[in-house]
Amino acid sequence: MSIQSLISEDEVTLMHRYICEGVGDPKRLRLLYLVAERPRNVTELTELLDVTQPTVSHHLRILRERGLVNAERDGTSIYYSLGDPRILEAMNILRSFVADKIQEAGSRRQEAGGKMQDAGGKMQDAGGRIQDRAS
């Protein structure tokens, strides 16, 4: 079976453009979760994220262009909502994966007496700080 029969180059490109670039910033991930709770306007999102209005507007534009959020005008305000609940389902699967990896890493650190080797063979303490092997 070839990789082409599993996923086409066009599909990979589109997934990267719409999903990876869309959620590739922590602020955009947080925005998705906030607008999933209920529709919110830029002012509310600015306060919740503690960032500037231009920053929120920039990230919302990126999310809107990719269909990840919807915008609906109500008088002078624009309210943003989640474009498709499946995106949060996918994000929650990824969150679960990351939580499992963090837990596994913590277990390995405990088993190693609070120290763990990274892929480069350097020792890390429980806080992730690199330790000289001599210590």
What pairs with residue 70 in β-bridges?
81
Percent of the chain with pLDDT over 90: 69
Spatial separation of the C-alpha atoms in residues 37 and 79, rounded to whole Å: 12
Per-residue pLDDT reduced to its tens digit, 60-109: 999 999 999 999 999 999 999 999 999 999 999 999 999 999 999 888 87
Same domain, 92 and 110: yes
The answer to whether residues 62 and 101 belong to one domain is no
| Percentage with pLDDT > 70 across the chain | 80
31 burial class (0-12, 13-18, 19+ CB within 10 angstroms)?
Answer: buried
Same-domain check for residues 103 and 114:
yes
Interatomic CA distance for residues 83 and 35, integer angstroms: 9
72 and 43 together in one domain = yes
Q: Which of these, 44, 124, 36, 125, lies nearest to 77 by C-alpha position?
A: 44
Same domain, 50 and 79: yes
Indicate whether this model's pTM tops 0.85.
no
